[in-house]
Structure 1
Amino acid sequence: MDITLAAIREQPGLEEIPMIAVLPKSALDLLPNPLIDDFVFEPLNAQELSARVLTRLIKSESLGEGNVIRFEKLEIDIDNYRARVNGKPIELTYKEFELLRFLMTHRGRVFTREALLNRVWGYDYFGSARTVDVHIRRLRSKIGTYENNIETVRNVGYRFSESG
């Protein structure tokens, strides 16, 4: 059962959908299971299943939707520090994630390297402004087809552009 559930969870767009299993009472030994969000035992009570589905949908809507920033097929989940391109997870360092988050929440606006250092690294950071360049280069290489959306504004800084 875990193999099938894991395969379902790995499908793009399905990994965050609440999973409710309908199980025979003899399957009690399969629980708890981290791949299952909730369960109902057979014989199935339609009202109970309906109530559980509704509860899970309400919870899933209140979690995450307001905390996910999307641009086309590029998305970042702020609550869980996850980033995805075309539904596939991408590995970002903490600063890469924060830099992408900042740029995506301020689309179209140009920020100098110094402004990005202050906003993303903090005012107490005393490194070189070229740190931003290095992080931008690494970030671009990780976001694939969206690399051109992080634009260099010559002699000024960077912006996240929707035209890319």
Structure 2
Amino acid sequence: MNNETIKILIADDEARMRALVRDYLRVKGYQVLEAENGAEALSVFEREPDIALVLLDVMMPELDGFETLKELRRISEVPVLMLTARSEERDELRGFSLGADEYIAKPFSPKVLMARVEAVLKRTAANPEGIVLETAGIRLDERAHEVSVDGKNIDLSFKEFELLRYFLENKGIALSREKILNHVWNYDYFGDARTIDTHVKKLRAKMGEKGAYIRTIWGMGYKFEPEEA
């Protein structure tokens, strides 16, 4: 699919922000539609149901981003990238629980946003129904953004979710910290690769006994080795 055939809806009450994002999207060849509040975004989507991606600001009048997403999910599974000036983990979890596909905090680099847009479009094109990964009682549902261990749901932050998905996709493979950083944090992180250790520690704790399946490879990184039933 050529970019010229892809429609993206921007819903943000700040005209300046819409213009900035619109210009970058158009440079990439995408068709761009705009809405200045949640109610207008829903109206635009009803008129243009072939929209491929929605960029949805959280803080908007009439209907905020969360309420707009809730209503949108009643009629469509279109990919949604949430834009927010707040970066609290509880807001991320709320967005994902309502069906958001990605989350990006303001202020952001336009290049980072474009990378996120392209990643979401590529992922949904390859997996239009979303993917479900399961092994040894661990189940990860990408579309619902849910993880369960032995049937019990666990709440993960966005990076913990992405980290677990990367482990599940590379079962039995030793992964260096640098490789994990490149695939999970990629374009939006600059800093010490040891941040991975902190996220792995939290992920293991949330997974209970099965957190032990994430094994440390001393001096290198980690390997996900589940004990299959």
TM score, norm. by length of structure 2: 0.42
Match of 2:141 in 1: 77
Aligned-partner SS, 1:79: coil
Instruction: Tell me which stretches of 4 or more aligned residues in structure 1 moved more than 4 Å.
Output: 63-66
Instruction: Please report how far the alpha carbon of residue 123 of structure 1 lies from its aligned counterpart in structure 2 after TM superposition.
Output: 3.6
Change beyond 3 A, Cα 1:138–1:64:
farther
- Code of the residue aligned with 2:185 in structure 1: it is W
* Pairs aligned (count): 102
Match of 1:102 in 2: 166
Larger radius of gyration between Structure 1 and Structure 2: 1
The higher relative CO (CA closer than 8 Å, separation ≥ 6) is in 1
The CA distance in 2 between the partners of 1:106 and 1:158, in whole Å, is: 11
C-alpha contact 1:110 1:153 (8 A) present in aligned 2: yes
Change beyond 3 A, Cα 1:161–1:135:
same
Match of 2:151 among 87, 93, 101: 87
Instruction: Please report how far the alpha carbon of residue 162 of structure 1 lies from its aligned counterpart in structure 2 after TM superposition.
Output: 2.2
The CA distance in 2 between the partners of 1:115 and 1:64, in whole Å, is: 27
List gaps (5 residues or longer) in structure 1. Answer: 1-62
TM score, norm. by length of structure 1: 0.58
Identity of aligned residues (%): 41
Cα RMSD (Å) of the superposition? 2.1
The CA distance in 2 between the partners of 1:132 and 1:111, in whole Å, is: 12
Instruction: Please report how far the alpha carbon of residue 67 of structure 1 lies from its aligned counterpart in structure 2 after TM superposition.
Output: 1.6
The CA distance in 2 between the partners of 1:64 and 1:144, in whole Å, is: 32
C-alpha contact 1:64 1:79 (8 A) present in aligned 2: no
